Amino acid sequence: MAAARPIRLISGFLTVGIWTLLSRVFGFARDILITGILGAGPVAEAFLIAFSLPNMFRRFFAEGAFNTAFVPLFSKKLEAEEDALGFAREAFAGLATVLILFTLLAQLIMPWMVLAMASGFAGDLRFDLAVSYGRVAFGYILFISLAALLSGVLNATGRFAAAAAAPVLLNIILIGVLVLAQSGLLENVIGADTVRIDGVSHLYTGRMLVWGVLLAGVAQMALVWTAAARAGFRMRVQMPRLSPDLKRLAIIAAPAMLAGGVVQINLLVGRQVASFFDGAIVWLSVADRLYQLPLGVVGIAIGIVLLPDLSRRLRAGDDAGGQDALSRAAEISMALTIPAAVALMVIPIPLVSVLFGRGAFGPDDVAAAALALTAYGAGLPAFVLQKVLQPLYFAREDTRSPFRYAVVAMGVNAVVAVGLAMVIGFLGAAIGTTIAAWVMVWLLLRGTRSMGEVACFDARYRRRVWRIVFAAILMGVVLWGLGLMLGPLLGTAGWRYGALAVMVGLGMLSYVLIGRALNAFHLSDLRSALRRG
């Protein structure tokens, strides 16, 4: 069995971040095609709800439980040179059994699941489409959840590349499916329909997309399965057995699953609100795609790499090393996230219009999505800070506290989103999500007071974070001025991409120069961290 490699925090972060960036780039291309072809119409909304169903439960079963409970237990077995492979196989068999049964049940109750996600669909075409698409797409949960467990095995052994690359496959396959759908080569096989815009069969495209999701799940599973086998952790088909180790995993994972479920209920609230406003689910999805770029590259990468590293340091009693790892992770993430948040709030219309404003996604859709993006941008630092702070709890096998905090945040989200929806419409969903995110951060910070030195950000972080904020605000002023200067070009077909690239490039340059002048960060810190790794 392969020995665990030492965790290299910064280099691991870059590996995950680069692959996640590629995934987000291909994800942009995918969503640009979807919105350009389907716009904010019923097929697009039905597909997004159907696709969100397996992803919601995937986070509930996989990331919400196994990547927070399984990784620390698996890491400890690796460190103690115990039977880590046997434990991984038991967990794999147990999770597979639960997922197969749940997938079969979902086929029977799909109409109720769709209503739970988007009750505003009841009585119109979107409901029937979402039920049909959901039954096909839900099989994705089996493959992607097992892939998440294998990714946890790879991450715990310091092998981040394959697990981080797997999401790229999803986007590449869906892009290929969209291109194939546009060609019409398989239209006679899958079935045509009379709902066409500019010669495009929307229902046909929707069917192709949901089958593409299922195919992508198989491909992602195959990738990480092969990588784990090469690393010495070959899974095999076996009967599930409730061993003492698996019982302990279940006991630790249960609160994490509940916490993950609460987080998904927060998203559910937003979708329910949006489902009562035609097109709103697509608008929120476009805004979500844009703010997920920095969130994915920074927040998810930090969470994946920091959790195994903290687990090892806490096991070794290295509080000083744990504090340094936590502080550097927070420092790097804030240096990248805060300027991104400012940019999303200052230039939302140029971002949405240039990237998504084409075809069936018209000016009104652009304006609505831009409003949602502004609201999400205000919460971006909170979303990332949650990824930084939660490993402090999970590395101690404390999944109950984050669950309690998530319940409080869920209540805040529901009250704000539903209450504001009565006044300002679908935008209340985005504002509720942002406010709930900041409430969650406040609760996580308050809960770390009893954890000692390892849970306290060091003096360097506290000194630099306010300089990072100031540098980002000044960058926002630069972006605002550039928006006034380049505004006419952003609306010109031949110049819009170049104008946006110039705006973003000059904004980034101004942030680096201002931040360096304010001593907010040093590029040499990143280079030295890589050398230490």
Q: Is 68 helix (H, G, I), strand (E, B) or coil?
A: helix
Question: Given this model, what pLDDT does residue 424 score?
Answer: 93
Q: What is the chain's pLDDT, residue by residue, as a tens digit (533 residues)?
A: 333 344 455 566 666 667 777 887 888 889 888 888 888 888 999 999 999 888 887 766 655 556 667 777 787 777 666 777 888 888 888 888 888 999 999 999 999 999 988 998 988 889 999 999 999 999 999 998 888 888 888 877 777 778 778 888 999 999 999 888 877 665 555 554 444 444 345 777 888 899 999 999 999 999 999 988 888 888 877 777 777 777 777 777 776 666 656 666 777 788 889 999 988 999 998 998 888 778 766 765 565 556 566 667 766 777 777 787 778 778 888 888 999 999 999 999 999 999 898 888 889 999 999 999 999 999 999 988 888 888 788 777 777 888 888 889 989 999 999 999 999 999 999 999 999 999 999 999 998 888 777 778 888 888 999 999 999 999 999 999 999 998 888 877 778 889 999 999 999 999 999 999 998 887 666 555 444 44
Which pLDDT belongs to residue 262?
A: 64
Helix axes 71-79, 84-117, angle to 10 degrees: 170
- Widest CA span of the chain, in angstroms? 66
Pairing state between β 196-197 and 200-201: antiparallel
Residue 298 DSSP SS3:
helix
Beta-carbon contacts of 457 under 8 Å, excluding residues fewer than 6 positions away, are 323, 326, 327, 330
Please state, in angstroms and rounded to a whole number, the distance separating the CA atoms of residues 64 and 149: 11
**CB distance 326 to 310 below 8 Å:** yes
pTM for this prediction: 0.76
Note the pLDDT of residue 176: 92
E strands of 179-309, at which residues?
196-197, 200-201
The phi-psi region of residue 519 (left if phi > 0; otherwise alpha if psi is between -120 and 50; otherwise beta) is left
Q: Judge contact between 47 and 209, C-beta under 8 A.
A: yes
Two structure tokens written together for 191 = 């079935």
The number of angstroms, rounded, from the C-alpha of 225 to the middle of its chain's C-alpha atoms is 22
pLDDT at 441: 93
